Homo-oligomer: A and B are copies of this chain.
Amino acid sequence: MKAFPDCLPCQVTAALKTLRKATNDETVVSKVMIEVLHILSDYGYGVPPPRVFREIMRRIKAETGNPDPYSRDKEEQNKRALSLYEDLKGKVKGAEDPFHEVLLISSGGNLIDAVIEDRVSGGLGSLGSFLIDDYPDLRKELRRASRLLIVGDNAGEVITDRLMIEEIRQRWEGEIVYAVRGAPTLNDVTLGDIQGLGLEELCSILSTGDDTPGVVLELCSEEFREAFEAADVIIAKGQGNFETLEELKDPRIFFLLWAKCEPIVRYLGLDRSGPVLLRSRP
């Protein structure tokens, strides 16, 4: 999905927020913000927004000397999500269709902060239902698959991905690979961020080898591209992975996300934000 005009205020806002986390030096903040405007106008609408934010993030990290501005946020988000783990696990177990339930919970994984702050009434157990639901397709494809690749997204959310992987493990024998970002970018998880969260015992962990907050295959490592190629089914989590991967029109990919921002809601033909399980189609 190429960038929309609405992406510009959003990216300028995200850049400033990231800069303020990265440094207290307002001279650097001021300088980099002008560079951010240049990056945005140079890229225009030619590429997906996460591809542009990769360059913004790199500039911020280089100019502030802070390699991981969201380090503390990610730690905090994982801690909060872990505190919900048992409760969510119970909700999955008690559901009529636990796999469908855990997909819904995982789609809302990056709402965890809002849940903790009680802005999502009823918590992640009351997320309504998918606005687009290609669950039958996913089940069918998984049944005949032997390799599943899950592309992760944010901190916090990763705990709901663990729940999802646990659920898949119970009913499916194939190989599961969980991919994270190759270097810090926004609050997306990297190899370092998921240590000790219990994912290593459930599946293989792989890095994309790139710090786009999404997946741009040309920028990824050879190793990741091979894993991507070899997968029979791919579950891509969150908006960033959707924005960068939907252009492939690859029917192996199932996008599992909470459609949050107006451009994505509109692009998906929805009339409101909400959970989506969408199979990519040629």
The interface centre, meaning the residue of A5, A34, A45 with most chain B CB atoms within 10 A of its CB, is: A5
Contact present for A41 and B38 (CB under 8 Å):
yes
Chain B residues positioned under 8 Å from A29 (CB to CB): 5
- List the number of copies, as a whole number: 2
- In the bound complex, CA of A112 to CA of B74 (Å): 40
For the complex, count residues of A whose C-beta is within 8 A of B: 20
Which of A1-43 touch B at CB < 8 Å?
4-6, 8-9, 12-13, 16, 19, 26, 29-30, 33-34, 37-38, 40-41
Chain A: residues with CB nearer than 8 A to chain B?
4-6, 8-9, 12-13, 16, 19, 26, 29-30, 33-34, 37-38, 40-41, 44-45
5 closest cross-chain pairs (CB), A and B: A37-B41, A9-B13, A9-B12, A5-B33, A37-B37
List 14 additional contacts besides A5-B26, A8-B33, A9-B13; criterion CB under 8 Å: A5-B16, A5-B30, A6-B16, A8-B12, A8-B37, A9-B16, A12-B12, A34-B41, A37-B37, A37-B38, A37-B40, A37-B41, A38-B41, A41-B41
